């Protein structure tokens, strides 16, 4: 009988060479940590882009809208600056006093003789902060604003609120003027930025009894109607603001014009 080696069962083993991880062994499924990290990074980047893109789009849209509005405003001011100046003829100032009252008086001969009584005297409002004054009927009331920029006037009751004012005289800060417009050109566009009027409707230069020149202006509203007049006066001591006289009640137009003629700079 030939010599035979014992037949022992042999268990299959996998030899892993030093320095070789099991992830590199063929047939062994492993999840790569590098791929997992890349997936997280891509997810974070996608979330970041989804969040920031709307913000960037909003900011760019806002900048474009502001640029468009500024371009339109500059175009309007440039066209007005190049427009022919208003007529230089100075209107005749309107007297502010009420005409004398003539009262029939009986005489010894039985006839009547007209006798003129003194004209009504108006009150005077003086603003010390912006150095101007204006007169108003002695039967009217006035209320100076807490910031001392001006006052409101009314024929009945003290005008404690804007709704009760009939005429208003106040200093208003100038809007930004990048073109360096003259006062005569500035007032033609001031209301568009200050009160969001659509465009200039009319402009009329006026001269008060004290020799101060101003501009009575009306504007076109959003509904295409024409506003009540606003009269602008320049402040010699302060180029950052203008004095504006507002007519807030159409039935007071005659009083408004008489008050305008009494406006003066007190400095």
Specify whether 214 is located in the same domain as 126.
Answer: yes
Specify whether 222 is located in the same domain as 157.
Answer: yes
The DSSP secondary structure of the chain, one letter per residue, reads -----------------TT--GGGSTT-----HHHHHHHHHHHHHHHHHHHHHHHHHHHHHHHHHHHHHHHHHHHHHHHHHTSPPPP-PPPPPPP-SPPPPEEEEE-TTS-EEEEEPPPPPPEEEEETTTTEEEEE-TT-EEEE-TTSSEEEEESSS---SGGG-SEEEEEEEPPP-TT---HHHHTTTHHHHHS--SEEEEEEEEE-TTS-EEEEEEEE-TTSPBPPPEEEEE-TT-TTEEEEEEE--GGGHHHHHHHHHT-EE--
Specify whether 158 is located in the same domain as 231.
Answer: yes
The structure tokens 């010390």 sit at 128
Specify whether 127 is located in the same domain as 74.
Answer: no
Asked if 170 and 151 count as a contact pair (C-beta separation under 8 A), the reply is yes
Specify whether 135 is located in the same domain as 241.
Answer: yes
Specify whether 145 is located in the same domain as 234.
Answer: yes
Asked if 94 and 208 count as a contact pair (C-beta separation under 8 A), the reply is no
Tell me what pLDDT residue 180 has.
Answer: 79
Cβ contacts of 258 within 8 Å, gap of 6 or more:
94, 95, 96
The verdict on residue 105 lying in a domain is no
| Angstrom distance (rounded) from CA 9 to CA 136 | 125
The verdict on residue 115 lying in a domain is no
> Which of 40, 64, 84 is the C-terminal boundary of a domain?
84
Specify whether 135 is located in the same domain as 52.
Answer: no
The structure tokens 């590098």 sit at 34
Say which CATH number the domain at 213 has.
3.40.1000.10
Specify whether 79 is located in the same domain as 127.
Answer: no
The verdict on residue 20 lying in a domain is no
Number of domains in the chain: 2
Asked if 81 and 247 count as a contact pair (C-beta separation under 8 A), the reply is no
> 220 lies in which domain range?
120-265
Dihedral angle at the C-alpha atoms of 46, 50, 52, 57, nearest 10 degrees? 140
Specify whether 125 is located in the same domain as 171.
Answer: yes
Dihedral angle at the C-alpha atoms of 79, 84, 90, 96, nearest 10 degrees? -20
End-to-end Cα separation, the chain, in angstroms: 143
- Give the Cβ contact number of residue 219 at 10 Å: 22
The verdict on residue 107 lying in a domain is no
Per-residue pLDDT of the chain (267 residues; tens, 9 = 90+): 455 555 555 555 554 555 544 444 555 445 455 565 777 878 888 887 788 778 787 777 777 776 776 666 666 656 655 555 555 444 444 444 444 444 454 545 444 444 444 445 899 999 999 999 999 999 999 999 999 999 999 999 899 988 999 999 999 998 876 667 889 999 999 998 888 899 999 999 999 999 999 999 999 998 999 999 999 999 998 888 999 999 999 999 999 999 999 999 997
Specify whether 139 is located in the same domain as 216.
Answer: yes
Specify whether 50 is located in the same domain as 173.
Answer: no
The verdict on residue 2 lying in a domain is no
Tell me what pLDDT residue 7 has.
Answer: 58
The verdict on residue 43 lying in a domain is yes
Specify whether 152 is located in the same domain as 248.
Answer: yes
Asked if 138 and 147 count as a contact pair (C-beta separation under 8 A), the reply is no
């Amino acid at each position: 009988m030939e010599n035979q080696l014992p037949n022992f069962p042999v268990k299959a083993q996998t030899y892993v060479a030093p320095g070789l991880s099991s992830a590199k062994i063929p047939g062994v499924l492993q999840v790569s940590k590098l791929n997992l990290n890349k997936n997280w990074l891509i997810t974070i980047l996608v979330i970041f882009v989804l969040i920031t893109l709307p913000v960037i789009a909003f900011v760019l849209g806002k900048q474009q809208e502001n640029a468009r509005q500024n371009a339109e405003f500059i175009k309007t001011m440039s066209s007005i600056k190049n427009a022919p100046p208003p007529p230089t003829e100075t209107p005749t100032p309107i007297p502010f006093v009420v005409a004398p009252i003539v009262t029939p008086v009986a005489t010894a001969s039985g006839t009547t003789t007209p006798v003129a009584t003194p004209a009504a005297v108006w009150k005077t409002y003086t603003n010390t902060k912006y150095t101007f004054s204006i007169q108003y009927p002695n039967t009217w009331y006035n209320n100076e604003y807490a910031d001392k920029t001006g006052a409101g006037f009314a024929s009945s009751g003290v005008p404690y609120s804007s709704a009760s004012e009939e005429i208003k005289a106040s200093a208003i800060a100038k809007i930004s003027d990048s073109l360096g417009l003259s006062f005569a050109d500035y007032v033609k566009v001031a209301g568009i930025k200050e009160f969001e009027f659509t465009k200039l409707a009319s402009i009329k230069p006026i001269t008060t009894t004290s020799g101060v020149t101003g501009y009575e202006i009306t504007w076109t509203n959003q509904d295409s109607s024409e506003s009540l007049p606003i009269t602008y006066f320049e402040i010699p001591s302060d180029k950052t603001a203008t004095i504006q006289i507002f007519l807030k009640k159409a039935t007071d137009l005659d009083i408004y014009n008489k008050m305008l003629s009494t406006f003066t700079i007190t400095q």
